[in-house]
Chains A and B, each alone.
Chain A
């Protein structure tokens, strides 16, 4: 190298010593957790803008556009009403249609977030390879997008609940902290599946089956009392700690007067709901951060 021949204070240093002297860092090194969290906070506007953009883009080819945000849950509810309310005449549960829609919409929030989460990294490789930002922005943006979708669903849900003759009570306020806890849970879950999906692309094919099994274990389509009746005691206990069942039960307690619940102790519901939110939120974040330097490689 001709251009290092001049009298140079750096002459005689090896490349690694030179790098250390000027404080250069190893390319693609993982930032510390505190540093990473700080950067993530700095990118909060990006998360919001990206989530919003995704929401707009997902309807950009539909003629009715954003209206689908409300139309999708409404159509969903109509189909289920047709099958369970009119054809099958379900009547073991009072106000079955509201019971069903509550479970369906709350479950759908987690389901779509997790399903899209598997694609958070692998579906954005171009962006990841081009620009440097904390990768956790992507799964978090998915959670925010799904949260916005949920707000649309909740409007429909409240309308259904009112139309089916439930009174407006103070208990409705329970819905706010319940949904917030579920959002934290979802954020952690989305980050966890995002890292898994980045490594194992087959996860995308497996995910629908996992989610369906989870749905059956969460008492969305039928009365939760069935668990108590047909499962052995320990299994029922296990189901009681299923996070999705807990979030759905909280929503049902909030909105419905006479809905059957598996877990009649409200403090226990709150405890489990908060516990899962913390465990999944923190665990998912740590798990995702530990893989930070790997995303976009290969």
Chain B
């Protein structure tokens, strides 16, 4: 990892002059509405399905959810932004819209480069050893084979999966959920991203890993990226982000320095 740090530090030396407030993500009055299947409920018999097909009525067990309602903000290069709010307030939906995985129904989301969304369920190939997954993940991020070869040992080292014996050569299905999440984060964090979106991915690791990953988020930020962090652990938002956005039922409630926003959010959450 030491080599990696030096490399990224070198990169930052040339940056200060272009460092002044270059927007990387612009969200303009974005509305996201998505449709969810309520699953098998009530009239889900084949006869009912056939009748629906004949009469061309829409399926009753699809419901529209207006998850993000007119959110606007601008994120700049080198910022780490925390997204907080109660469960179901639209944080993850907003991240997925920024990543281009959900279309906006109204308004617009503009990004620099291609944002990478790092979620807890970003599964690779479970039948393959961790090592092979690292190689695949790096290639999938567009690294060259030589680069992958150089990075692989560092990534495995960083993830710490080899702390309890040689797990890197075992299939990923044998990993605990925490180990798998650590490996996934380590793979995604190995590359410089213009915009990195982290959705609760840090919550699964143990304490030591959490420290290392928070450090890594800081480095990624310094190498001129923008990092978004969705977390319910206010302490990790406080440690890594200087700006925080508070969403409540899809509406932007507050946007500003982490201290202020988190304090207001805590007061709100306690008062509920």
B169 to chain A, nearest CB (A): 13
Which residues of A have CB within 8 Å of B115? 27
- A296 to B, closest residue via Cβ: B101
B-contacting residues, A6-24, CB 8 Å? 8, 10, 14-16, 18-19, 22-24
In the docked arrangement, what's the CA distance between A126 and B102, Å?
15
Report yes or no: B21 in contact with A10, Cβ–Cβ below 8 A.
yes
Determine the distance from Cα of A137 to Cα of B140 in the docked complex, in whole angstroms.
9
What residues of B have a CB within 8 angstroms of the CB of A8 in the complex?
21
Mask: chain A, 110-132; 1 = CB below 8 Å from B; 0 = not: 00000000000000001101111
Interface: B99 (CB within 8 A): yes
The answer, among B122, B128, B145, for a CB contact under 8 Å with A129, is B122
Q: Which residue on chain A has the smallest CB distance to residue B100?
A: A28
Bound-complex Cα distance A60 to B142 (A): 26
Determine whether B117 belongs to the interface, using a CB cutoff of 8 Å to chain A. yes
Q: Is the CB of A27 within 8 A of B122?
A: no
Shortest B35–chain A CB gap in Å is: 8
Which of B28, B100, B112, B144 has most chain A Cβ within 10 Å? B100
Chain A contacts with B in 125-167, Cβ cutoff 8 A: 126-127, 129-133, 137
Whether B184 contacts A19 by the Cβ 8 Å rule is: no
Is B200 in contact with chain A by the CB < 8 A criterion?
Answer: no
Q: Which residues does chain A contribute within 8 Å of B24, judged by CB atoms?
A: 24
Residues of B contacting A133 in the complex (Cβ-Cβ under 8 angstroms): 140-142
Residue B73 contacts which of A1, A14, A57 (CB distance < 8 angstroms)?
A1
Chain A 27-58 interface residues, beta-carbon cutoff 8 Å to B: 27-29, 42-43, 45-46, 49-50, 53-54, 56-57
| Distance between A191 CB and nearest chain B CB, rounded to angstroms | 18
- Least CB distance, B101 to chain A, in whole angstroms: 5
Contacts of A297 in B (CB 8 A): 101-103
A22-B23, A49-B135 given; A126·B122 CB < 8 A:
yes
B98 and A27 form a contact (CB under 8 A): yes
Q: B222 in the interface, Cβ–Cβ < 8 Å?
A: no
In the assembled complex, the Cα of A26 lies from the Cα of B27 at a distance in Å of 10
Q: Which single member of B26, B121, B243 contacts A126 (CB below 8 Å)?
A: B121
Is A232 an interface position by the 8 A CB rule? no
CA distance A129 to B124 in the complex (A): 11
Q: Is A298 positioned at the interface, with any CB of B under 8 Å from its CB?
A: yes
Contact, CB under 8 Å: A60 / B171: yes
Decide yes or no: A46 and B97 within 8 Å by CB, A26-B109, A129-B117, A297-B103 being known contacts.
no
Could you mark each residue 24-55 of chain B with 1 if its beta carbon is under 8 Å from any beta carbon of chain A, else 0? 11111100001100000000000000000000
Known: A1-B73, A19-B28, A133-B142. A53 touches B109 (CB 8 A): no
Q: Which residues of A contact B (CB under 8 A)?
A: 1-4, 8, 10, 14-16, 18-19, 22-29, 42-43, 45-46, 49-50, 53-54, 56-57, 60-61, 126-127, 129-133, 137, 293, 296-298
Chain A to chain B contacts (Cβ below 8 Å), 23 pairs: A1-B74, A1-B255, A15-B28, A16-B108, A18-B23, A25-B110, A26-B108, A27-B100, A28-B99, A43-B139, A43-B140, A53-B125, A57-B127, A126-B124, A129-B119, A130-B117, A130-B122, A131-B122, A131-B188, A132-B114, A133-B141, A297-B101, A298-B35
B111 A24 Cβ-Cβ under 8 A: yes
A291 to B97, CA, bound (A): 17
CA–CA, A29 and B113, complex, Å: 11
Cβ of B234: which chain A residues have Cβ within 8 Å of it? none
Distance between Cα atoms of A297 and B26 in the complex (Å): 21
**Pick the contact of A57 from B101, B116, B128 — CB < 8 Å?**
B128
Write the nearest CB–CB distance from A15 to chain B, whole angstroms: 3
**Interface flag for B178 (CB, 8 Å):** no
Contact of A45 among B25, B112, B124, B139 (CB under 8 A): B139
- A23–B135 CA distance with the chains assembled, in angstroms: 32
CB distance from B248 to the nearest CB of A (A): 17
Could you tell me if A53 and B128 are in contact, using CB atoms closer than 8 angstroms?
Answer: yes
Known: A18-B26, A45-B144, A127-B123. 13 other contacts (CB 8 A): A1-B255, A15-B27, A22-B23, A25-B112, A26-B108, A27-B100, A46-B140, A53-B132, A57-B125, A127-B122, A130-B184, A137-B140, A298-B35
> Known: A53-B128, A133-B140. Contact between A19 and B110, CB under 8 A?
yes
Nearest chain A CB to B147 CB, angstrom units: 10
* Of B21, B73, B110, B127, most A-chain CB atoms within 10 Å: B110
**Which of B25, B109, B116, B171 meets A131, CB within 8 Å?**
B116
Task: Give bound CA distance, A14 to B123, whole Å.
Answer: 39
A126, B123: Cβ atoms closer than 8 Å: yes
A29 x B140 contact (CB < 8 A): no
Task: Determine the chain B residues whose CB is within 8 A of the CB of A127 once the complex forms.
Answer: 122-124, 140
- Known A18-B26, A129-B117, A130-B117; contact A61-B127, beta-carbon cutoff 8 A: yes
Does B137 interact with chain A (Cβ within 8 Å)?
yes
Q: How far, in angstroms, from A251 to B73 measured CA to CA in the complex?
A: 62
Q: 1/0 contact trace for B226-260 toward A, CB 8 Å?
A: 00000000000000000100000000000110000
